[in-house]
Structure 1
Amino acid sequence: MASSKKWATTISSIASFIYFLVIILQIPLFSIPCTGGICRTPVEVTSSQLIASEVFPLFLVKALLYPGAFANAFIKNKAIPGYDNLKLYNFTNVKAADAISDLQRLEVLVGSYLSVAGAFLGLIRPGRMSLFGMLLIVWGLVREIFSSKSTSTDLIYMYPAISFALFAAFLSITRDVRRIIRCCRAPRFVKTKLI
């Protein structure tokens, strides 16, 4: 029987890979207004902010967006979009002044950055960054929904897939998975000598 460390490492590696696929293939997790219209994934929120602030070159942002556009076209049985086509996301006319509106939803923005970075870093070494990112996104969305200041709460909601991403992010933490495995194992009976 394998040790709890091997099981935990295997489970967290698989969960990190599944989390990476959920993030990079841009499975819709939530819906929130952003600079490009309505953003449904952490990659879209991150990309719209990166394009507006002009921090990264445009080709890096396109490289981040392309796997999701490819998967979306494949699922919907449409033509595969060209690498130069950003019209799918309405990010072509985003300006730096538009990025200020995203800063009002700071938890979702920071959570999206952490989720995307955690997805990539989780392939190298699984850690807590992806879980913190998902928790920040959920907290920001719940706060935005229940906030009386928000006028567009009908545009803000969470898809059921966010719970799957949150669960995968939790299972990517090796130390916590190891504790769960230890708790679930049947206790071993120790033979005692009678004197």
Structure 2
Amino acid sequence: MGSSTRLAKLISTIAFSTYFFIIIFQVPIFSVPCRKGICTTPLELTSSQLIASEVVPLFIVKALIYPGALARAIFKQKTIPSYRNLLHDFNTRTISVASELQRLEVLAGSYLSVGGAILGLIKPGRMGLFGILLLMWGLIRELIMGKSGFSYAKGIQIYPTIFIALVSAFFSITRDVRKIIRTFNLKHIRKAKHF
């Protein structure tokens, strides 16, 4: 029983690390029009909304988006961005409130995804999983609307990395992983008894 608990803890730690990396280091998982122009990560969408609403001080938003900007600069072999000019790209375009409200699931899913990554440092939970599920639901709904001819759904894409985020968010919940391991152990024991 102790080995299954340790295995579940190991699997959930690796899964949460993957989820945290995808969210905080801003690996592109979708493409949607936003105040920045085109947002490709939940953190970009959340940050552009936080900057526009002016609810959170800018230094907190900068602290959130700097790891992703740093990783992107290293990956693309560009100069490391300065902390002072970090928000330069976020004030380039205004988008109507009506079009943001039409993407409410995407916005709420982005907030929950980012919150799940940050709060998961204390204790991984279901917030990140619900965020990714809500995000996927909103994006798929938008894509269906786009095929139906609605103009506000144009420019939306889903990247395959969103499925990696979904799987890692699910497996970061230790209790669920422990239940899966116990289920497989019980099936293995029952098969061994039959032989």
Normalised to the residue count of structure 2, the TM-score between the two structures is 0.89
**Counterpart residue identity of residue 63, structure 1:** A
CA change 1:87–1:119 in 2 (3 A) is closer
Distance 1:100 1:49, change over 3 A: farther
Amino acid at match of 2:119: L
| Identical columns (%) | 58
Gaps of 5+ in 1: 191-195
* Equivalent in the alignment of 2:91: 92
Runs of 4+ in 1 over 6 A off after TM superposition: none
Q: CA deviation at 1:100?
A: 5.1
Q: For residue 141 of structure 1, what is the amino acid of its counterpart?
A: L
Partner of 2:31: 31
- Cα-Cα RMSD: 2.2
Q: 2: CA distance between counterparts of 1:44 and 1:6?
A: 35
Contact 1:128 1:173 in 2 (8 A): yes
3-state SS, counterpart of residue 124 of structure 1 = coil
Match of 2:136 in 1: 138
Stretch deviating more after TM superposition (10-19 or 31-40) = 10-19
- Larger proportion of helix: 2
Residues 27-176 of structure 1 aligned to structure 2 (within 5 Å): 27-86=27-86, 90-93=89-92, 98=96, 101-147=99-145, 148=148, 150-151=150-151, 153-176=153-176
| Contact kept? 2:37, 2:93, Cα under 8 Å | no
Kindly indicate whether residue 181 of structure 2 is the aligned counterpart of residue 181 of structure 1. yes
1:71 is displaced (CA, Å) by 0.3
Paired residues in the alignment total 189
Task: Find the aligned partners of 2:149 and 2:46 in 1 and give their Cα distance.
Answer: 24
- Aligned equivalents of 1:20, 1:100: Cα separation in 2: 31
Give 1:85 deviation, angstroms: 1.6
Partner of 1:193: none
Equivalent-residue separation in structure 2 for 1:6 and 1:146 (angstroms): 43
CA contact (8 A) 2:37 2:92 kept: no
